[in-house]
Amino acid sequence: MNGAPAVLFVCLGNICRSPLAEAAFRQTSQAAGLKVAIDSAGTGNWHVGKPPDPRAQATALHYGVDISNLRARQIEQADYTRLSHIMALDHENLADIEAAAPRDTTAHIALLLDYVPGREGQAVRDPYFGGDGLFEETWTDVSLAASALTEYFCR
Ligand code: 4NP
């Protein structure tokens, strides 16, 4: 890879799962001294310009990351060449990302949990319509991914 990796986490709304993935990876990569650019986006546009869901903000803050300054955006064509890696939180996100990929795509596109040994092929469950417990589950999953990614990019 030329230069530092640049990772884009992508879910549906960019207000729950991908901001948490961004938060967890920011924390883990910084602690490891890994130089990496980190961003997130949604495949949908319903929440563009909005801060993360209050439940996601509370969960991140509980684990030491303030994500109140993040604002949702939709994935755009330039992301496919600007970022080195685009990571989908679930299978629907992955299919939508792949379907919208321009011909000149250079980013490596994959399911996030494919980077986690033993969790390959699995989705990070959408917590939006669930209870607070689901946000804990989201944090557990994205934290595992953050550690695995840190190891992956450091080696
Ligand atoms: P996210 O969660 O994709 O993890 O940000 C969702 C946010 C909003 C909706 C669905 C999922 N929604 O239907 O508005």
Instruction: Give tens-digit pLDDT for 104-119.
Output: 999 999 999 999 999 9
Ligand 1: centre distance to CA 38 (Å):
20
Q: Is the CB of 20 under 6 A from ligand 1?
A: no
pTM > 0.85: yes
CB atoms within 10 A of CB 12: 20
Whether residue 138 contacts residue 20, with contact meaning beta carbons closer than 8 Å, is answered with yes
Ligand 1: centre distance to CA 43 (Å):
10
Report d(CA 63, CA 24) in Å as an integer: 9
Class of domain 6-154: alpha beta
pLDDT score for 2:
59
What is the 3-state composition of the chain as percent helix, strand, coil, each rounded to the nearest 5?
A: 40, 15, 45
The ranges assigned to domains in the chain are 6-154
Low-confidence ranges of the chain (pLDDT < 70): 1-2
pLDDT score for 39:
98
pLDDT score for 41:
99
Q: Is the CB of 96 under 6 A from ligand 1?
A: no
pLDDT score for 1:
56
pLDDT score for 87:
98
Q: Show the tokens assigned to 65.
A: 């990351």
